[in-house]
Chains A and B, each alone.
Chain A
Amino acid sequence: MLFTSYSFIAFLALLFTVYYLVPRRFQWMLLLFASYLFYFIAGPTYVIYIFVTTLSTYLVSVKLESLNKAQSAYLAEHKDMSREEKKEYKASVKSKQRKWLAACLLFNFGILAVVKYTNFAIANINAVIGAFGGGTQLSFLKLALPLGISFYTFQTMGYIIDVYRGKHPAERNFFKLALFVSFFPQLIQGPISRFSDLAQTLYKEHSFDSRNISFGIQRILWGYFKKVVLADRILVAVNTLIKNPDTYQGAYVLIGMLFYAYQLYADFTGGIDITIGIAQVLGIEVKENFHRPYFSKNIVEYWRRWHITMGTWFRDYLFYPLSVSKPMLNISKHSRRLFGEALGKRIPVYLSTFIVWFATGIWHGASWNFIVWGLMNCVVILISQELKPFYDWFHSRFNVAGKLYFKVFQIVRTVLLMSSIRMFDCYRDVPMTFRMFGTIFTRFSFKPFFDGSLLKLGLDLSDYIVLLAGLIVLTIVSVSQARGSVRRQLEKKPVLVRYAAYYALILSILVLGAYGVGYDSSQFIYNQF
């Protein structure tokens, strides 16, 4: 059931109605039922995977907590223990907890690894065998890749780590935990929520709040506008450009790169708008996943504003623990000794950053393209960090910091940089991506911009007008967001202005949307990760 399908819209309409009709204490149960129904429709066998992840996480989280409780009880009973004895006892409990946690992480990341990466591993093994002249090739496995498995696995593992760290108690009600794991709007493309952020709002009783519902619906419509009017429209040209690399080189690669940046932004942020909007109609607050990312002035800032919940997940559950892990501290010690204080202390940071970006890359997809994409981000971030003293000098020497034109330059530079790295999403393999990128410089020509070639990519003049108008609207909205919620700003406008905006939004989705017969319904790009 695609978010853009009629059946999903009917599903939502029915759910919203029933949600506010049932006694409030049953609302969360209805959501659980709706979430599992949604997932069941996506693929009946997928339900087994999400159930197994939920059950294993539930059992381990309860075990972790019971160990905590047993520890407290034991310590209360044995107040006469010495500090050393207490420390030793706590360490033994922690060790048990760590084993349980490791088992849970291994089991669930293991499921993710098996279903998502087995064939990638086989392909690489076959390539190695082939390179050494071996004739035998391993067969690929037919494995179902459950929808949104990367998202719900990360969300659930974040939960269990937080229980282990004592950030919040384990959820004792299995069904409530099942809802946290399976909450359908965010199941397939995030955001990757934290239990501490989502749980209370998810299980709370929600009364009918017309303002909140109106805001939620506006957010949903805005998401659909981005997805069906803009992303699915430009998709045709993006596919034409990237699926015909022999034909479209030079300037076309640049065009494809920028079109893909447009598509991905409209697609992913549109999907998240729909998710957050649905949650809002249900009275549930879901964390924002974007903060005007295309206004970032450098790549580090960009990653703080794009897919925020994924970035913070990797930061909190991988980067920080890795940086303070024993092996990393040892590496730090050795590297300082070998390379001196200045370089030595940076090596563990580089290494942790490298591992995090490798993981980020492979989380996005089982291919070298994504791994190289992640590592390219890593390289650019590290170079930026290394060049910081130079940037600081440049800014003060030429007095450009804070100047509008320089800000614009920085924004454009960041967008171009991110867009060019994203080309690894597009082309078949890594060498081809580099080759195609190279043609921007070796075969560039302004001709395609003026000789009508742009009208042969599957878009006609009216499509370009819609896309340009869409770009202007997106920019205006993004600029307005700097002053706070656009919906709140709109709320204060006169009735006529307000309703004109709502009408424009609804009618543009209905009329200009790239949906229905003649258009291929497309999944959200992040559904595939």
Chain B
Amino acid sequence: MKKRKLIINITAVCLLIISLLLLQRLLMPKYVSAIVEGSLIEEYYQETTGHDVIFVGDCEVYESFSPITLWENYGITSYIRGSAQQLIWQSYYLLEETLQYEKPEVVVFNVLAMKYDKPQKEEYNRLTLDGMRLSPIKIKAIQASMTEKENLIDYIFPILRYHSRWDELTAEDFQYMFKKKKLFHNGYYMRVDVRPVTTVPEGRKLANYRFGDNAYYYLDKMVDLCRDNDIDLVLVKAPSLYPYWYDEWEAQIEEYAAKHDLLYINFLELIDEIGIDFNTDTYDGGLHMNLSGAEKLSVYLGKVLAENYGLKDHRNDDVYKEVWEEKVDFYYDMKAQQYYELEKYGYLKSFGAKPPTS
């Protein structure tokens, strides 16, 4: 009798745990047809081969550099572990996590994130952290990122955060409950649409231009992490016209790069040299590069990386070749699909874009 009761109770608890896990999967946002940026981080775990270059940073990395272009032009394998408004401590922990899986030759960090010294918004935290696999590093990333009202347990058991989505569920939530379709190109978010720059806003005056101590603390940690792992760290500033990049910020990064013997490339100063045309190379009026802009930047950056860090050309390496050919096919398929949608609907309907009127 006792044994039967025990078996029933154990079965019941197991069933409850399974139901909760299934419910959690169902209730978590899928980020497939809207706010697709939420899927960026988790796609990394599908990678089967290592990379020469790892990018970390905010939208300025995942919109400005195309790993496929780097591959096609220089045989450089790369992955962008970027996410929307990725804060520097998130970049640091994502890099630390990446090093658990592979050891790249070069790490590229976009310095715009230096402007944030404190946790910002829960919504953005989620876009970065939910996609990370549960590990001690993820816990540290969460603890560094949480705003006052957030709880660690809400990240560890996301059902506690997303339970209220029960009345918003769509067919997509069921369709992608276990497996999601691939949306990005080694972390690059492709957009072929164009919205030229019309006005360039002036930066408003700030009370204090000095980057915060916390931001510097994590930049130092990133430098140390790369140094300890024999990785070259490159600092970049993508050529986005806004958020505004102040001269005072530029001076601090230049000074920091010089002090730590790091390569720093400010693409804002290379616009003409690279041939960026803000009438054709941005999809949102200068905030982000579109495919055309990203490819131009990647050609330039690839050359710098290949020349300065002696990265090997893997194009004739059979292991990489097979994997990357598939990626290249997917890239061009999506490119064609995007042009098709652009022509048919006037906007990228199934790629997370909003209709032009909205």
Contact with A along B158-177 (1 / 0, CB 8 A): 01110110110000000000
Contacts A495-B8, A510-B163, A511-B163; is A517 near B20 (CB within 8 Å)?
no
Q: Tell me the smallest distance from the CB of A520 to a CB of chain B, in Å.
A: 9
Q: Tell me the smallest distance from the CB of B132 to a CB of chain A, in Å.
A: 18
Is B149 touching A517 in the complex (CB atoms < 8 A)? Answer: yes
User: Does A173 touch B at the CB level, under 8 Å?
Assistant: no
User: Does B304 touch A at the CB level, under 8 Å?
Assistant: no
Contacts of A506 in B (CB 8 A): 16
**CB within 8 A of A513: which of B8, B16, B163?**
B163
Docked Cα-Cα span, A462 to B159, in Å, equals 19
Docked Cα-Cα span, A462 to B12, in Å, equals 29
Q: Tell me the smallest distance from the CB of B33 to a CB of chain A, in Å.
A: 22
Contacts of B164 in A (CB 8 A): 514, 516, 518-519
**CB within 8 A of A516: which of B16, B160, B167?**
B160
Closest B-chain residue to A7, C-beta based?
Answer: B151
**Cβ < 8 Å to B, chain A residues 455-502:** 460, 462, 495, 499, 502
| Chain A binding surface, main DSSP class | helix
Contacts of A516 in B (CB 8 A): 151, 154, 160-161, 163-164
Docked Cα-Cα span, A349 to B149, in Å, equals 53
Q: Tell me the smallest distance from the CB of B312 to a CB of chain A, in Å.
A: 46
Interface size on B, residues (CB 8 A): 21
**CB within 8 A of B166: which of A512, A518, A519?**
A512
Is B161 touching A517 in the complex (CB atoms < 8 A)? Answer: yes
Docked Cα-Cα span, A6 to B151, in Å, equals 9
Docked Cα-Cα span, A507 to B22, in Å, equals 12
User: Does A140 touch B at the CB level, under 8 Å?
Assistant: no
Contacts of A503 in B (CB 8 A): 15-16, 19
Contacts of B163 in A (CB 8 A): 510-513, 516
Contacts of A514 in B (CB 8 A): 164
User: Does B329 touch A at the CB level, under 8 Å?
Assistant: no
Q: Tell me the smallest distance from the CB of B146 to a CB of chain A, in Å.
A: 11
Contacts of A499 in B (CB 8 A): 12, 15
Number of A-B contacts (CB under 8 A): 44
Q: Tell me the smallest distance from the CB of A347 to a CB of chain B, in Å.
A: 57
Closest B-chain residue to A499, C-beta based?
Answer: B12
Contacts of B122 in A (CB 8 A): 517
Q: Tell me the smallest distance from the CB of B207 to a CB of chain A, in Å.
A: 30
Docked Cα-Cα span, A514 to B166, in Å, equals 12
User: Does B150 touch A at the CB level, under 8 Å?
Assistant: yes
Is A507 touching B23 in the complex (CB atoms < 8 A)? Answer: yes
Docked Cα-Cα span, A513 to B165, in Å, equals 11
Is A460 touching B16 in the complex (CB atoms < 8 A)? Answer: no
Closest A-chain residue to B151, C-beta based?
Answer: A6
User: Does B21 touch A at the CB level, under 8 Å?
Assistant: no
Docked Cα-Cα span, A503 to B27, in Å, equals 17
Docked Cα-Cα span, A6 to B154, in Å, equals 10
Docked Cα-Cα span, A517 to B126, in Å, equals 12
Contacts of B268 in A (CB 8 A): none
Is A517 touching B8 in the complex (CB atoms < 8 A)? Answer: no
Q: Tell me the smallest distance from the CB of A393 to a CB of chain B, in Å.
A: 53
Contacts of A507 in B (CB 8 A): 19-20, 23
Is B167 touching A460 in the complex (CB atoms < 8 A)? Answer: yes
Contacts of B16 in A (CB 8 A): 503, 506
Contact with B along A163-206 (1 / 0, CB 8 A): 00000000000000000000000000000000000000000000
Closest A-chain residue to B126, C-beta based?
Answer: A517
**Cβ < 8 Å to B, chain A residues 120-164:** none
Contacts of B23 in A (CB 8 A): 507, 510-511
Q: Tell me the smallest distance from the CB of B181 to a CB of chain A, in Å.
A: 26
Closest A-chain residue to B154, C-beta based?
Answer: A516
Contacts of B8 in A (CB 8 A): 495
Contacts A503-B16, A516-B160, A516-B161; is A511 near B154 (CB within 8 Å)?
no
Contacts of A512 in B (CB 8 A): 163, 166
Contacts of B20 in A (CB 8 A): 507, 510
Contact with B along A52-71 (1 / 0, CB 8 A): 00000000000000000000
Contacts of B149 in A (CB 8 A): 517
Contacts of B150 in A (CB 8 A): 517
Q: Tell me the smallest distance from the CB of A272 to a CB of chain B, in Å.
A: 25
**Cβ < 8 Å to A, chain B residues 1-54:** 8, 12, 15-16, 19-20, 23, 27
Closest B-chain residue to A461, C-beta based?
Answer: B167
User: Does B323 touch A at the CB level, under 8 Å?
Assistant: no
User: Does B153 touch A at the CB level, under 8 Å?
Assistant: yes
Contacts of B166 in A (CB 8 A): 462, 511-512
Contacts of A510 in B (CB 8 A): 20, 23, 159-160, 163
Is A517 touching B19 in the complex (CB atoms < 8 A)? Answer: no
Contacts of A517 in B (CB 8 A): 122, 149-150, 154, 161
Closest A-chain residue to B152, C-beta based?
Answer: A6
List 26 A-B residue pairs with CB atoms under 8 Å apart, sorted by A's residue number: A6-B153, A462-B167, A502-B12, A507-B19, A507-B20, A507-B23, A510-B20, A510-B23, A510-B159, A510-B160, A510-B163, A511-B163, A512-B163, A512-B166, A514-B164, A515-B160, A516-B151, A516-B160, A516-B161, A516-B163, A516-B164, A517-B149, A517-B150, A517-B154, A517-B161, A519-B164
| Given A507-B23, A514-B164, A517-B122, 9 other A-B residues pairs in contact with their CB atoms under 8 A | A6-B151, A460-B167, A462-B167, A503-B19, A511-B159, A511-B163, A512-B163, A517-B150, A517-B154
Seen from chain A, the residues whose Cβ lies within 8 Å of a Cβ on chain B are: 6, 460, 462, 495, 499, 502-503, 506-507, 510-519
Those 9 A-B pairs whose CB atoms lie nearest each other, nearest first: A462-B167, A511-B163, A511-B166, A499-B12, A6-B153, A516-B160, A6-B151, A516-B161, A510-B163
